Chains A and B, each alone.
Chain A
Amino acid sequence: MTNKLTPEESREKLDKIFSDLTRSLKIKDELARFWIFILAMFTIVGLWGWIHQIRTGLGITGMRDYVSWGMYIGNFVFFVAVSLIGLLISSILHLLKFEWGQPISRVAETVAIAAIALAGLVIVMDMGRPDRFLNIFLHGRFASPIVWDVTVITTYVTISALLFYIPLIPDVAMLRERLGDDVPKLQKKLYSILSLGWKGNARQFEIVAHTVRILLVLIIPVGLSIHTVTSWLFASTLRAGWDSTIFGPYFVTGAFVAGSAAVILVMYVYRLRYDLDEYFTNKSFDMMGKLLVLMCLVYFYFNINEFLVPGYKMRLAEGAHLHELFTGRWSTLFWFVQIFGVILPIVLPLLKYFRRPLPLTLIALVTLVASWFKRFIIVVPTLEHPHLPIQNVPENFIHYSPTGPEIMITLLPFFASAIIITMLAKLFPVITIWEYAEKQGIDKKYLLEESEK
């Protein structure tokens, strides 16, 4: 496909790719330090809130006996949703041989790992007795969807981590060989350990390719399971608004929307911060814009199903629920979510102008925010309408409104996941170098050669 390159051309080209893609590792980055410091401060504030919550009880939140799941559960669903993008981009696009997805797959895996790790923390923060977390393993009851969720999420974390790490091995070997004194000794030591004595022979590449292919297939059922099972936490109950048979695919497509938006954001930041215009190209954004439109269209279809069918029948409980959403207490938030989280990302990126990096990133940001509120509006309004009337309880039992500490704790995983994503970008190339070089027609034998500089 590409013309054969001469050894000189290959070396030169590889040097450029290598130096571009390791820029994030090498630059003495005051801004990043400041950024991490700020994030860490906010994370600590959130942790302090959690300690306060453990001491005083979950009562410091706005949750009470009727609305007993609130922002935390919405947050949990959001983070599980975002993590699903790893499945879509690195696996499905790859297996379908969409070449443009290749440079993005490590971004997708980074986002997936950061999100799913924090989803695990979020759910522990929602527990009344986090000290008894191990009971799930000691006394686990397999009939409970929570146990299914724990099972598939841990599996997904494992596979995602492997999918991040295994294609990284040839890269860290390159870092080990080629990075001079640009990075601290300790960091070089880390690369040396992580490269597992990689020599770069054909057999090793074969093993990597084979392993990755198996993982890419494995992650599909596991990935679909994490979000389907998460949706069943709601769909398995008898409540109006949750008692729905399409919750699995409804959640999965919604997850692809949120995840695509998150990946676009991270891509844009990398591109801007590390001068990677040639790698995260306009075409990458163009294609991501199209992917976002496609996902939103499918999501739109499920939204119509989810609201039109019960809305047509208006059974007592569903009717009350839909009234609250469409015209009642939750209508502002509901229409915000539907317009900015579903309609806008369908309509605007249809135009070529809006698929350029900056406009698309802004759309992605709005979509991501709307996606978060979408989870909130799935969780809370349903709980405000139980089958039997809410009586003989204080006013704050009837309507849910989150408290300050609750919001701090809810924001914690955002800061923490930003820290994880930043740290990964500071430690490892944001694009798989050897794969990218191979696509450019550079033979693998040059990879581990000492850089000329």
Chain B
Amino acid sequence: MDNQNTRRNFLKTAGMALGCLGLAMPERVFGSGSKVLEADGDTITLLTPGGQLVRVEKSKLKPAEMPSLTENQKRGREGLPHRAWVMVIDLSKCRNARKCMAACQAHHQLRPEQHHMNTLQMQDAEHTAPYYMPKNCMHCDNPPCTKVCPVNATFKRSDGIVLIDNERCIGCRFCIAACPYSARVFNWFEPRDAENYKDVTYDIEANVPQKKGTISKCLFSADLLRVGKMPSCVSACPNGVYWFGDQNEDAVTNGTTKETTSFSKLIRDNAGYTLMKELGTKPRVYYLPPKNRAFPFEGEIQKHE
């Protein structure tokens, strides 16, 4: 049913998609696929996910089916065809606004201390300049976390995303131990606002609702990618830090300016690198060095002894 959307190249139609699907967002989570605009006699006017207004006879209407759990899990494991998602984080732009962190926590039902996306204050050596570094899951191509999972609850998809099935996770936390990027969080208690989410069908691509005793982590907002939108952190950034796109198309789009550019050129021209490449994890998140920062580092560097 969503094939139209999945095949659509969001890089070209991002603006339009944001416009019409922005409206559809709450319904995506809570069930139905269309928005009721007005009722008029025996017909009703509806907005389709494609952005068209259509008139339908009321008698032909059927209640929308709730997305089934198994269907979610099945398609969540497959990945979007022919995609290879990459993220580029430009450290020279980050001014620690933390809008990405807030948007992420709102999207994925996280407690304030749970971070899929965490802006760290970094200092590489004693006398080097400190800088801010947003850090999420690296979606490694050689992920240490999925290897150690005893029940295949965390897995790598064909489009590069490492996901979690919290309906299957047994909470052994081996993946936390295995991840060198500290990207994973655990639900030590009932998740935030568990009451509000209790009737929501589990969406593996957003890992919502979260479940007590299971793992969570950054998913590149796979649910939004499916409907042609950017991950919530990318869209939320006010400073143009994030570029996101498809390596197969060699195109990434800036979440703030919506400018699209060549991925390979971007990392070549700006000396892009990956975190701890010596570990051989092959991250899909690239960093551009914090050179010529537009603004100074503010505040003390946090010591973590």
Contacts and interface: CB of A to CB of B under 8 A. Distances in A.
B135 A388 contact: yes
Contact of B304 (A127, A236, A389, A394): A389
B148 interface: yes
B210 to A, nearest CB: 12
A130 B171 CA distance: 8
A141 interface: yes
Given A59-B189, A64-B188, A128-B173, 14 more contacts: A57-B189, A65-B176, A129-B169, A136-B150, A140-B150, A141-B152, A143-B148, A234-B177, A238-B180, A386-B182, A388-B181, A391-B118, A394-B113, A397-B113
A390 B305 CA distance: 9
A135 B151 contact: yes
Interface in A221-280: 233-234, 236-239
A64 B186 CA distance: 8
Interface in A48-95: 56-59, 63-66, 68-69
Contacts of A394: 113
Given A237-B144, A387-B180, A127 B276 contact: no
User: Which 4 residue pairs across A and B have the least CB separation, nearest first?
Assistant: A128-B171, A128-B213, A59-B188, A146-B150
Interface string A124-153: 001111101101101111011111001000
Contact of B173 (A68, A136, A145): A68
A293 interface: no
Given A68-B176, A143-B147, A397-B113, A387 B276 contact: yes
Interface of B: 101, 113-115, 118-122, 135, 144, 147-153, 168-174, 176-178, 180-182, 184-190, 212-215, 275-276, 279, 302, 304
A126 B173 CA distance: 9
Contacts of A58: 171, 186, 188, 213
B276 A139 contact: no
Contacts of B148: 143-146, 236-237
Taking residues whose C-beta sits less than 8 angstroms from the other chain, chain A's interface range is 35 or more
Instruction: Classify the secondary structure of A's interface with B.
Output: loop
B105 to A, nearest CB: 11
A139 B155 CA distance: 13
Contacts of B118: 391-392
A392 B115 contact: yes
Nearest to A133: B170
Contacts of A236: 148, 178
Nearest to A388: B182
8 contacts: A127-B213, A128-B213, A132-B169, A144-B174, A150-B150, A238-B180, A389-B304, A398-B304
Nearest to B115: A392
A363 interface: no
A133 B115 CA distance: 27
Contacts of A393: 113, 115
Given A58-B186, A64-B188, A126-B172, A237 B214 contact: no
B275 to A, nearest CB: 8
Interface string A345-361: 00000000000000000
A129 B213 contact: yes
Contacts of A145: 148, 174
Contacts of A139: 151-153, 168
A387 B181 contact: yes
Nearest to B135: A388
Contacts of A59: 188-189
B171 A387 contact: no
Contacts of B149: 141, 144
Nearest to B276: A387
A69 B182 contact: no
B147 A388 contact: no
Contacts of A129: 169-171, 213-214
B170 A391 contact: no
B159 to A, nearest CB: 21
A118 interface: no
Nearest to A233: B174
A391 B172 contact: no
A383 interface: yes
Given A68-B186, A389-B120, A147 B172 contact: no
Given A128-B213, A129-B170, A391-B302, A141 B151 contact: yes
B122 A389 contact: yes
B185 to A, nearest CB: 5
Interface string A379-406: 0000100111111111001100000000
Contacts of A68: 173, 176-177, 186
A390 B183 CA distance: 11
A56 B189 CA distance: 6
Interface centre among A387, A388, A393 (most CB of B within 10 A): A388
Contacts of A239: 177, 180
A330 to B, nearest CB: 13
B172 A127 contact: yes
Contacts of A238: 144, 178, 180, 279
B168 A135 contact: yes
Contacts of B212: 57, 128
B147 to A, nearest CB: 6
B103 to A, nearest CB: 15
A129 B210 CA distance: 13
